[in-house]
Amino acid sequence: MSSVDAQTPLRDLVPLAQAGEDTATQQLMAGVHRIALRYARARLGRYSGTGDAASDIAQEVCVAVLTALPRYADRGAPFEAFVYRIAARKVADLQRDIYRLPAPTDEVPDTEDLAPGPEAVALNLETAAELGRLLDALSEQHREILVLRVAVGLSAEETASALGMSAGAVRVAQHRALTKLRQLVATQGGRP
């Protein structure tokens, strides 16, 4: 049995987990869950009613990674990139499902609701929708970089590792994405 501790990088845990080491598998899945949950929360933040969805997606990503782990082969890309690709697909699936849901109808609540009032909800949804429109105007790569850097809070090095880029390329792409967002807000009032 090899030495595995809480600081062991995911890439070092993969071969141990593939060999059937329980401690490595548990730590690998904990790391995968943490990454997937942060990513899902960042990507689903603008959708109302998705509070538990991020946790569900993180669990689905863990199951998918655990299922694919015996067949996983290191091809030079970081293991985190493999996890982010799975998480991105799961988030995209949920987003498609959200758009297919029927529109909610007006219902009179039986008890007093302590949730924010309609005005606060409308303002939050409007802000989230506006942010979504702005992000949709960016390329997929720029959108992913901004989500990982700003919303998830990854460093340039962590983002680079996840996307298979250099840290410098991530910084340049982030700068270009933010510049484009500023231009959109200034010239079009934020409407792409």
Last residue of a domain, one of 40, 69, 101: 101
Overall number of domains in the chain: 2
pTM of the model: 0.59
Whether residues 72 and 147 fall in one domain: no
- The yes-or-no verdict on residue 94 having pLDDT over 90 is no
Range of the domain at 61: 7-101
What's the chain look like in SS3?
A: CCCCCCCCCHHHHHHHHHCCCHHHHHHHHHHHHHHHHHHHHHHHCCCCCCCCHHHHHHHHHHHHHHHHHHHCCCCCCCHHHHHHHHHHHHHHHHHHHHHHCCCCCCCCCCCCCCCCCHHHHHHHHHHHHHHHHHHHCCCHHHHHHHHHHHHCCCCHHHHHHHHCCCHHHHHHHHHHHHHHHHHHHHHHCCCC
Q: Give the tens place of pLDDT for each residue, 7-59.
A: 788 888 999 999 999 999 999 999 999 999 998 888 887 665 666 888 999 99
Last residue of a domain, one of 101, 132, 161: 101
